[in-house]
Amino acid sequence: MERLSHLFSPIRIRNVELVNRAVIPPMGTNLGRKDGTVSDALIAYIRRRAASGPGLIITEITAVHPTGSVINTELGIHDDRFIPGLKTLADTIHAGGAKAAIQLHHGGRECFFHLTKGRALGPSAIPSLIYGVAPKEMTLDDIHEIVTAFGVSAARAREAGFDIVEIHGAHGYLLCQFLSELSNQRQDEYGSSMKSRARFVVEVIREVRRNVGDDFPISLRLSIEESIKGGYTVEDMLTVVPDFVGAGVDIIHASLGTYGSPGGVTSAPVEYEPGFNAWRARKVKDVVNIPVIAVGRFSDPAFADEVIGRGDADMVSFGRQFLADPDFLNKARQGRAEEIRTCIACNQGCIERLMFEGKTIRCAINPETGQETTYPLPEQKSPKKVWIAGAGPAGLTAAYEASRLGHEVTVFEKDDVVGGQIRYAGMPPFKDVYLKWIHWLENQAVKGGAKIRTGEPLTREMLASERPDAVIVATGGEKMVPPIEGIDLPHVCDAWQILSGEVSPGRSVLIIGGGLIGMEVADFLCGKAPAVTVVEALPTSPVSKLTSHGYMLHRRLRQGGCSLIFGITVTRITPDSVRLCTADEERELSPVDQVVVAVGLTPRQELKAILEELCIPFTLVGDAAEPRRIIEATEEGARAAWDL
Ligand SMILES: Cc1cc2nc3c(=O)[nH]c(=O)nc-3n(C[C@H](O)[C@H](O)[C@H](O)COP(=O)(O)OP(=O)(O)OC[C@H]3O[C@@H](n4cnc5c(N)ncnc54)[C@H](O)[C@@H]3O)c2cc1C
Ligand SMILES: Cc1cc2nc3c(=O)[nH]c(=O)nc-3n(C[C@H](O)[C@H](O)[C@H](O)COP(=O)(O)O)c2cc1C
């Protein structure tokens, strides 16, 4: 029997046959040009994914009207001048064997730069939860204009060669704003009841159908649940889904969440289990007789196959998994599942980089993503003897990339095992996927030809006697020890000793440092130690609640009864208490029977001076350059290998 026969079976929707049921859902990339046209970088990004054999690729949000774009590089389809670029995009998808869909979008009140200029539109003049600025309430003429824009844009999509259009009715954008009572308080026929709030969506669907003709499939992406306090529920949505089908929709893409949903549930963090949202797709399937796409933390093709097999969905979207490993479907097809690089749902390189940093798409664990035009292929250059110090994320990524490019690579790791900080980062709740990733990376580097020598620090003597052609210094950071009276007492330990199990949790634990490491240790200790307090010198938390991981951490610590105190320094540690100091008072906290130091790292750079003295070319990467995050470690490790 064919492997994964449900996932890899074809499906027909109107006149379009998909070769299989694996879908790449729309994902904004920021790779568009400033004028909203398609760039070479976007084509290269799509080409790489089209080659991996999904049945359907739905390209990212594309503005149907000049007032509808949420960022200035958002692709446009509101004018004929966009058609040639979009045609190249559709052709690129077809060349890989998939069918091409485009997502038609209007951002409504979430278009920040239109909001600031007073041009943003919304069903009611209710401020965006994120930006705090209200849009202009749409008049009936505005409504008519936007409905028409969706229709004309759909016709352009067809002209550009797309096989399907997807109407974006989800995630808090204009159509979703109409559906939600939180953003739609209109008193006319477009407001009040769920049925009336759905009218705008119904009109958009009808207009799109009128423009594309009877044979052309239309997908509707919906947040089946708004996932926010006071938002619409699954039951509310199920009352109107049949109306959407009646208006001409052929596929429901069953997503969830809106702007401001706690913890970024739309691109859910690791706390949500794979396929956590599939039950909502099932609910939709129970009320309609058209194909439904499930989405949400799918990364394992075998699991997606199971979900389709048991009838919960007809197709499955793999979003971030296609960023982490565009080859994963082929690996599954060929029985090489163990080679799949599984998404760790950290959101660092993808959604949060786009939303909070305004940068182009990347992936924290796949340095090729978003850099397809410059990603180097193995050349016939003469291989170099490359030594790498440190087998954490930076060193192992450098090893994988350098050996892939044909260099002769040896990694020296001073500890007996590889992984660097990930050995500890993978210990708190839900983070075992980080351990899985680092083992994957180790295996791939070795498979690619890199030699890894554990228990062997790279030293001056080794460098002087064997003189490699180049060295990549990925030695990470050194733990900082704050100069506090009592820091040497026996009940004081550090975060790493707790996470590794070397030191057992105390009863009343005080953690010095409320950065990521301190918060992670607190998370690890919640439920193990009866009382956990984190003190941080900064006035506010260095771990932003805007990121999904930060939000989940703060929530878990609050629910776990852990107390976080900001704007406070520890000035003295005694055997059963600590002295805390704020700008205006000093006080004693007791009892404290364990103090855990988590004040961070300083770059470990002792090899730098040695390499300079020996005149051996080198690059400092990752935490060894400056302690930061995984994405910087992998990015710099890869770049050092590419630049050899
Ligand atoms: C508890 C915890 C949780 C974290 N959670 C996250 C998170 O959720 N997201 C995130 O982005 N980041 C997180 N981090 C930070 C992240 O782990 C680091 O940024 C990342 O590991 C840095 O990678 P690196 O390869 O530069 O350094 P490291 O991971 O520190 O690896 C350096 C390696 O070099 C070795 N070494 C040192 N000197 C020598 C020498 N002379 N010769 C040979 N080997 C040597 C070390 O033993 C080590 O194995 C966390 C860190 C901790 C401790
Ligand atoms: C970088 C990024 C950009 C996204 N852009 C869009 C988009 O343009 N339109 C959309 O409907 N959803 C968008 N999403 C949501 C995804 O389509 C998908 O629903 C979500 O990531 C959950 O799927 P996953 O867990 O498989 O990643 C985006 C997600 C990411 C990570």
Does 627 fall in a domain?
A: yes
Tokens of 512: 């010095």
Contact 63, 25 (CB under 8 A): no
Euclidean distance between CA atoms 424 and 228, whole angstroms: 33
Does 369 fall in a domain?
A: no
Contact 522, 489 (CB under 8 A): no
Q: Are residues 394 and 526 in the same domain?
A: no
Q: Which of 281, 305, 340 is the last residue of a domain?
A: 340
* pLDDT tens-digit map of 425-477: 999 999 999 999 999 999 999 999 999 999 999 999 999 999 999 999 999 99
Does 359 fall in a domain?
A: no
CATH of the domain at 403: 3.40.50.720
Q: Are residues 409 and 515 in the same domain?
A: no
Does 370 fall in a domain?
A: no
Q: Are residues 157 and 225 in the same domain?
A: yes
Euclidean distance between CA atoms 340 and 444, whole angstroms: 10
Helix (H) or strand (E) holding 167: strand 164-169
CATH of the domain at 265: 3.20.20.70
Q: Are residues 538 and 580 in the same domain?
A: yes
Residue at token pair 């956990």: 532
User: Given this model, what pLDDT does residue 161 score?
Assistant: 98
- Check if 425 has its Cβ closer than 6 Å to any atom of ligand 1: yes
Q: Which atom of ligand 2 is nearest to the CA of 268?
A: 25
User: Given this model, what pLDDT does residue 115 score?
Assistant: 86
Residue 180 has phi, psi (to 5 degrees) of -95, 135
User: DSSP strand E in 11-98: where?
Assistant: 11-13, 16-18, 22-24, 56-63, 75-76
Contact 296, 224 (CB under 8 A): no
Euclidean distance between CA atoms 63 and 79, whole angstroms: 10
Does 321 fall in a domain?
A: yes
Q: Are residues 260 and 304 in the same domain?
A: yes
Q: Which of 274, 306, 340 is the last residue of a domain?
A: 340
Q: Are residues 53 and 167 in the same domain?
A: yes
The count of domains in the chain is 3
- Which ranges of the chain have pLDDT less than 50? 1
- Check if 550 has its Cβ closer than 6 Å to any atom of ligand 1: no
Write the DSSP symbol of residue 376. Answer: P
- Check if 519 has its Cβ closer than 6 Å to any atom of ligand 1: no
Q: Are residues 182 and 136 in the same domain?
A: yes
Task: Name which residue sits closest to atom 2 of ligand 1, judged by CA.
Answer: 425
The residues near 522 (Cβ < 8 Å, ≥ 6 apart) are: 511, 532, 534, 557, 562, 564
Beta-carbon neighbour count of residue 272 at 10 Å?
18
Q: Which atom of ligand 2 is nearest to the CA of 297?
A: 25
Cα 391 to chain centroid, rounded: 24
- Check if 520 has its Cβ closer than 6 Å to any atom of ligand 1: yes
The DSSP result for 241-298, as a single string, is: HHHHHHHT--EEEEE---TT-TT-GGG--TTSPTTTTHHHHHHHHHH-SS-EEEESS-
* pLDDT tens-digit map of 320-371: 999 999 999 999 999 999 999 999 999 999 999 999 999 999 999 999 999 9
Does 125 fall in a domain?
A: yes
- C-alpha closest to that of 302 among 280, 284, 319, 318: 318
Euclidean distance between CA atoms 330 and 343, whole angstroms: 16
Q: Are residues 137 and 235 in the same domain?
A: yes
- Check if 269 has its Cβ closer than 6 Å to any atom of ligand 1: no
User: Given this model, what pLDDT does residue 2 score?
Assistant: 61
The DSSP result for 453-478, as a single string, is: EET----HHHHHHH--SEEEE---EE
CA of 25 to the centre of ligand 2 (A): 6
Half-sphere exposure in the Cβ direction for 22 (13 Å, CA) = 31
Q: Which of 279, 308, 340 is the last residue of a domain?
A: 340
The DSSP result for 312-369, as a single string, is: S-SEEE-SHHHHH-TTHHHHHHTT-GGG--------TTTHHHHHHH------TT-TTT
Ligand nearest to the backbone CA of 60:
2
User: Given this model, what pLDDT does residue 380 score?
Assistant: 66
Q: Are residues 286 and 143 in the same domain?
A: yes
Write the DSSP symbol of residue 390. Answer: -
Does 637 fall in a domain?
A: yes
Q: Are residues 463 and 525 in the same domain?
A: no
- Check if 365 has its Cβ closer than 6 Å to any atom of ligand 2: no
Instruction: Check 45, 131, 173, 232 and give the catalytic one.
Output: 173
User: Given this model, what pLDDT does residue 130 score?
Assistant: 86
CATH of the domain at 578: 3.50.50.60
Contact 354, 28 (CB under 8 A): yes
- 497 is in which domain, residue-wise? 492-599
User: Given this model, what pLDDT does residue 112 score?
Assistant: 86
Active site residue 173: yes
- C-alpha closest to that of 348 among 330, 366, 331, 336: 366
User: Given this model, what pLDDT does residue 1 score?
Assistant: 43
Mutation test residue for ligand 1: of 421, 434, 458, the one with most atoms within 8 Å of CB = 421
CA of 557 to the centre of ligand 1 (A): 24
Q: Are strands 99-105 and 56-63 parallel, antiparallel or unpaired?
A: parallel
Q: Are residues 251 and 264 in the same domain?
A: yes
Q: Are residues 418 and 313 in the same domain?
A: no
Does 372 fall in a domain?
A: no
User: Given this model, what pLDDT does residue 381 score?
Assistant: 74
